[in-house]
C-alpha cells in the first residue's frame, strides 16, 4: 500500500521506510515554533531539563500576540522570550519593528518549506501544510522537550482526501473554501486526522488561498492540512527557502479514510455564525439583515498582501459605514510596506479604517478591537467561540476579505456583489 503526503513526511523524519495510521513514532524536527504567550511556560520547562537548545537555527520565537506590549504583563512575557533568545543566540527571533504574525512571516521568509516537519506551541501551526510540509500544534511540555532534543513523538494520523474540482469564481477565496469544508464535516470532522487537498481544483488556488485553508484545518479538528507541490508552490518557495527541500506527493494507491469533494465553481460567499466555525451559511441565504458594529481584516488567516488587495479594491473610493469600526492589520512588516507602496493603506485610511501594526491583537481578545456586550463583528480571523474577541455576550462572524470589506461599507453582513 502506498503512502499519502502526511505519512511520507513522518516516515522520513522517523527514519522509517513506511508508517501507517495509529503508529507511534519519534521524529526529528526541522523547525520548532512558539510565541510570546506560549514560549514563556515552555522556557520554564526547558530550563528544568538542563540542556542547551538543540539547534539555534531551528527554533523560531515570534512575539506577536500581545506585542507591541499592551501592558506590564505582556511586557514581561516579551522580556522572557527576548532574554531566552539572546541567551541562546537564536537566529529566528524577531523583535518589534521586524516581527509579524508568526504564521504569516514563517512562510513569507522561507523559514518553512516543502517536506519539512514543524511543530509549534500554537494550534494554527498547521498553516505550513500550504507549502507541502507537515506542521502541527503541540503543548508546552512537548515544545520544551523539542527545544532541547530536536525531536517529538507523533501518532500517525489517518488522512481525509479533500478533492477539489471546478473553477474558482470571482469574489471567492480560500476562506470560503475552508468554511464550506468545515460546514460539511463539522468542527470535529477531521479530529486527529490530516486533511490532504487533491484534484484539479488545487491549481485554481493561490498561495494565499492555500495558506488560509491550511491555517484553519485545526478548526475541523485536523492535525494538519497539506497541499501538493505544484507550480504555484514552486513559484512561491523559490528564492524564499534557502535550504535544500524535498517535496512530497501522495502515491497513486495512497489510503484515505474518507473523501470529500468540493466543486469550487459552485461556491458562494460564506459566513460562519457564532459560536462555531462550522456554523456556516451562504451570505445570500441569511435573510433578515444582520447589523454589525466592527470589522477586522487581518490575522494569520487573512493578513497577507492578497487579502489587503482584495479589501482595498472593494473599499476604494468608498466609506466605512458610519456605525462601523473597521480595523485593518497587515500580517507582516513586508505586507505593511508593500501595501503602503501600492496605495492600499491610503485607501483604507481614506475609507475611514484603523490601520494597525502587525499583531494577533483582536483575534484572541487581546487588544486592538475588543468587543463590548451585544456587539457584532465580521472578522477574517479563524475562531468565533463565545467571548473569543471580548465580552461573552458579543458575537463574531467569520468571513473572508471580500465579505468583510463589503460588510464594513454597508454596515451589515453583505456579499461583495452588493457593493459593485
Give per-residue pLDDT as tens, 6-58: 999 999 999 999 999 999 999 999 999 999 999 999 999 999 999 999 999 99
Q: What is the pTM of this model?
A: 0.95
pLDDT lower than 50: segments of the chain: none
CB 419 within 8 A of CB 402: no
CB burial of residue 352 (10 Å; 0-12, 13-18, 19+): middle
Give φ, ψ of 262 to 5 degrees.
-125, 125
pLDDT score for 78: 95
pLDDT score for 202: 98
Report how far residue 213's alpha carbon sits from residue 203's, in angstroms, rounded to the nearest whole number. Answer: 14
Element holding 261 (H helix, E strand)? strand 258-263
Secondary structure (DSSP) of 131-200: GT-EEEE--HHHHHHHHHHSEEEEEPPEEEEEEEESPPPTT--HHHHHHHHHHHH-TTTTTTEEEEEESG
pLDDT score for 1: 73
pLDDT score for 420: 72
pLDDT score for 182: 96
- Fold for domain 271-412? Aconitase; domain 3 (3.30.499)
Cis peptide before 275 (omega within 30 of 0): yes
Give the cell for residue 322. Answer: 458610519
Length, in residues, of the chain: 420
Full strand arrangement of the beta sheet holding 280-282: 280-282, 270-272, 395-398, 376-379, 294-297, 325-328, 354-355
pLDDT score for 368: 92
Q: Which CATH architecture has domain 5-264?
A: 2-Layer Sandwich (3.30)
Element holding 117 (H helix, E strand)? strand 117-120
pLDDT score for 258: 95
- 44 Cβ partners below 8 Å, 6+ apart? 144
- For the chain, the structural domain boundaries read 5-264, 271-412
CB 228 within 8 A of CB 249: yes
Alpha carbons within 13 A on the beta-carbon side of 362? 32
- Topology match between the domains 5-264 and 271-412: yes
pLDDT score for 343: 98
Full strand arrangement of the beta sheet holding 224-226: 224-226, 193-198, 158-165, 258-263
Q: Please state, as a whole number, how many other Cβ atoms lie within 10 Å of the Cβ of residue 2.
A: 12
If you search the block for the grid coordinates 473599499, which residue do you land on?
315
What is the per-residue burial (b if ≥16 Cβ within 10 Å, else e) of 170-192?
A: ebbbbbbbbbbbbbebebebbee
SS3 345: helix
pLDDT score for 265: 96
Amino acid at each position: 500500500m502506498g503512502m499519502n503526503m502526511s505519512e511520507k513526511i513522518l516516515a522520513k523524519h522517523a527514519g522509517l521506510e513506511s508508517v501507517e495510521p495509529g503508529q507511534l513514532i519519534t521524529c526529528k524536527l526541522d523547525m520548532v515554533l512558539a510565541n510570546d504567550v506560549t514560549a514563556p511556560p515552555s522556557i520554564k520547562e526547558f530550563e528544568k531539563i538542563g540542556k542547551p537548545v538543540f539547534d539555534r537555527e531551528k527554533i523560531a520565537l515570534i512575539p506577536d500576540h500581545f506585542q507591541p506590549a499592551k501592558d506590564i504583563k505582556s511586557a514581561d512575557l516579551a522580556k522572557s522570550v527576548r532574554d531566552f533568545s539572546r541567551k541562546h543566540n537564536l537566529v529566528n527571533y524577531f523583535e518589534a519593528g521586524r516581527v509579524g504574525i508568526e504564521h504569516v512571516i514563517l512562510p513569507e521568509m522561507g523559514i518553512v518549506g516543502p517536506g519539512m516537519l514543524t511543530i509549534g506551541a500554537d494550534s494554527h501551526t498547521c498553516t505550513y501544510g500550504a507549502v507541502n510540509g507537515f506542521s502541527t500544534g503541540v503543548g508546552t511540555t512537548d515544545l520544551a522537550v523539542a527545544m532541547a532534543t530536536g525531536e517529538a513523538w507523533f501518532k500517525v494520523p489517518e488522512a481525509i482526501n479533500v478533492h477539489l474540482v471546478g473553477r474558482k469564481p470571482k469574489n471567492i477565496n480560500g476562506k470560503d473554501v475552508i468554511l464550506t469544508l468545515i460546514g460539511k464535516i463539522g468542527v470535529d470532522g477531521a479530529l486527529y486526522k490530516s486533511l490532504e487537498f487533491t484534484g484539479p481544483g488545487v491549481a485554481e488556488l493561490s498561495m494565499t488561498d492555500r495558506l488560509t485553508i491550511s491555517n484553519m484545518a485545526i478548526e475541523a479538528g485536523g492535525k494538519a492540512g497539506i497541499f501538493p507541490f505544484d507550480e504555484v508552490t514552486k513559484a512561491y518557495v523559490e528564492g524564499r527557502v534557502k535550504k535544500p527541500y524535498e517535496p512530497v506527493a501522495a502515491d497513486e494507491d495512497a489510503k484515505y479514510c474518507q473523501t470529500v469533494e468540493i466543486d469550487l465553481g459552485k461556491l458562494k460567499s460564506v459566513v460562519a455564525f457564532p459560536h462555531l466555525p462550522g456554523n456556516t451559511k451562504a451570505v445570500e441565504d441569511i435573510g433578515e439583515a444582520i447589523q454589525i458594529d466592527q470589522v477586522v481584516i487581518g490575522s494569520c488567516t487573512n493578513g497577507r498582501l492578497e487579502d489587503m488587495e482584495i479589501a482595498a479594491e472593494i473599499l476604494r473610493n468608498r466609506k466605512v459605514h458610519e456605525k462601523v469600526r473597521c480595523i485593518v492589520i497587515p500580517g507582516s512588516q513586508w505586507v505593511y510596506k508593500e501595501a503602503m507602496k501600492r496605495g492600499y493603506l491610503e485607501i483604507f485610511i481614506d475609507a475611514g479604517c484603523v490601520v494597525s501594526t502587525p499583531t494577533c491583537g483582536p483575534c484572541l481578545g487581546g487588544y486592538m478591537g475588543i468587543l463590548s456586550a451585544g456587539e457584532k463583528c465580521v472578522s477574517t480571523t479563524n475562531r468565533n467561540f463565545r467571548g473569543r474577541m471580548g465580552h461573552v455576550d458579543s458575537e463574531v462572524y467569520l468571513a473572508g476579505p471580500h465579505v468583510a470589506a463589503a460588510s464594513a461599507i454597508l454596515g451589515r453582513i453583505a456579499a461583495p456583489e452588493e457593493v459593485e
